[in-house]
Amino acid sequence: MCRLAAITSNDYVSPMEAILALETMKEGHDGSGLGLTMKDLGGEFEKLKQYPILSGVGSKKGIEMLDNYMKRKGFKLIHNWSPSLNPVKGITAREYYFARAYEVPQSCAERKFADCEDLLMQTRLELRALGESDQSLFVYSFYPDVLTIKEVGDPLEVGRFFGLDSGQITSRICLAQGRQNTNYAIYLYACHPFFLQGYCTMTNGENTAFVPIREYLASRGFPGYMGYNSDSEVFAHILHYSVRQLGMPLRYYKDVITPLMKESEINRRSDAQALLYMRQSLRPLCIDGPNCIIGFTPDGTCFMTHDAKKLRPGVVGGVKGKYALMSEECGVDSVIPRRDRSTDIFPMKYDFVTISPRAQEVTVWNQLQG
């Protein structure tokens, strides 16, 4: 099983906090990999917030390809972060891990941000296409103020391998997932968290409705709905589709993936008619779990929700200014030991927990109350 550790905070925190939380939940994961996505970056990226950051790893050939491509497209390299690697037993180092901040081409800078987002995504997809066949280049995210790191191995070891305990890289939001893929091949593109145009999720559990959801998303005509090396990638794309493409408020994500089953439940809601239409039109995006989903949106809101039977664990706890969203309570204890544990939230089947940017306020929205 996977284990999830997310932190949202008013102050910058080290990703090592999330990794140590994963370590406390080690009985629940097999230590086969680590994925980290950080948003609202501190450290050396704090002053580069307006520049998109390309995260990935490549071979020498891949990096040359990347440089040539970015140059050709008019992206100007502003800052390059490469972790100083510490040799760790069991982790085979790849050649170049990178997080590079670029200045966007002039033509893009003059356009609306949404258009610019499309260019960034298109650039990432083209780079992925260039480097995937010979695995010379992997790129995970290309977006302002977001950094992603992925590697196969025990999460704690991977953290040490990248020297994440040095404090060089910090962020206000950090999503960490321990374990690589379950039923699909272990592959960097299959590793959570998944990110698309500011929307990011990581998931615990397998998605039994994966194939129809994948087919539905892939047929939306949106180039970013691709990949799907993991059944969990669709959760990020459903979020993107519901909120960004369809313009729904975030909490309707819950109504999309776990629609209310009974008419009597729907009729309790003031938006019943809209829900009925949605349930029909978005029928292929319904999940049956077992899943716990943790994610964030472009404005820095973090959330946690479950499948309709709550078949995977999840807990939210903390204090104003710092909250942890974890698979298990020991993870919350690791990050925020001093808190009122009686206020910890264990979201149930109808709940959608959101934490406002900078961890100011926690809201539990119950699907039945609408």
Task: Decide if 142 contacts 121 (C-beta within 8 A).
Answer: yes
- Residue 202, interface with other proteins (CB under 8 A)? no
User: Is the CA virtual torsion 134, 140, 141, 146 positive or negative?
Assistant: negative
Please, what is the minimum distance in Å from the beta carbon of residue 255 to other proteins?
A: 9
Please say whether the beta carbons of 50 and 144 come within 8 A.
yes
Please list the residues that pair with 7 across neighbouring strands. 174, 324
Residues in contact with other proteins, counted by CB under 8 A, come to a total of 45
* Centroid of chain to Cα 288: 20
299 binds other proteins (CB under 8 A): no
* Paired strand residues for 142: 54
Nearest in space to 126 (alpha carbons), one of 224, 59, 55, 220:
224
| One residue of 64, 95, 271, 361 binding other proteins per CB under 8 A | 271
Rounded Cα distance, 143 and 49, in Å? 10
Q: Distance between CA atoms of 1 and 346, rounded to whole angstroms?
A: 19
What are the strands, taking DSSP E only, across 218-346? 292-296, 302-306, 315-319, 322-326
Task: Choose one: 9-17, 23-31, 140-148, 251-259; the region binding other proteins (CB under 8 A).
Answer: 251-259
Is the separation of the CB atoms in 370 and 268 below 8 Å? yes
Using CB under 8 A, which of the segments 69-77, 78-86, 126-134, 202-210 binds other proteins?
A: 202-210
Binding other proteins by CB under 8 A: which of 23, 117, 157, 206? Answer: 206
Decide: is 261 part of the binding site for other proteins (CB under 8 A). Answer: yes
Encoded tokens for 263: 């008419």
Bridge partner list, 98: 56
Which residues, numbered 211-250, are part of the site for other proteins (CB under 8 A)? 211-212, 215-216, 219-221, 245-249
Contacts of 74 (CB under 8 A, 6+ apart): 104, 105, 106, 107
Q: Which stretch binds other proteins (CB under 8 A): 126-134, 162-170, 191-199, 257-265?
A: 257-265
Q: Is 49 in the site for other proteins (CB under 8 A)?
A: no
Stated as kind and residue range, the H or E segment containing 58 is strand 52-58
Q: Does residue 289 interact with other proteins by CB under 8 A?
A: yes
- Least distance (Å) from other proteins to the CB of residue 4? 16
| 32 contacts other proteins (rule: CB under 8 A) | no
Least CB distance to other proteins at residue 365 (A): 10
Part in contact with other proteins (CB under 8 A); list of ranges 30-38, 53-61, 270-278, 336-344: 270-278
Query: Which is closer to other proteins, CB of 59 or CB of 245?
Result: 245
Yes or no: say if 250 and 354 are a contact pair by the CB < 8 Å rule.
Answer: yes
Beta carbon nearer to other proteins, 206 or 333: 206
Q: Kindly state whether residue 258 participates in binding other proteins, applying the rule CB under 8 A.
A: yes
Going residue by residue from 176 to 195, which x/- string records binding to other proteins, judged by CB under 8 A? ------xx------------
Q: How far is the CB of 156 from other proteins (least distance, A)?
A: 23
Are the C-beta atoms of 336 and 322 separated by less than 8 Å?
Answer: yes
Q: At what angle do helices 60-73 and 113-132 cross, to 10 degrees?
A: 150
- Rank residues 311 and 364 by Cβ distance to other proteins and give the closer one: 311
Site for other proteins (CB under 8 A): which residue of 286, 315, 345, 359?
Answer: 286
Residues in contact with other proteins by the rule CB under 8 A: 1, 182-183, 205-206, 208-212, 215-216, 219-221, 245-249, 252, 258-259, 261, 270-271, 273-275, 277-278, 280-284, 286-290, 308-309, 311, 370
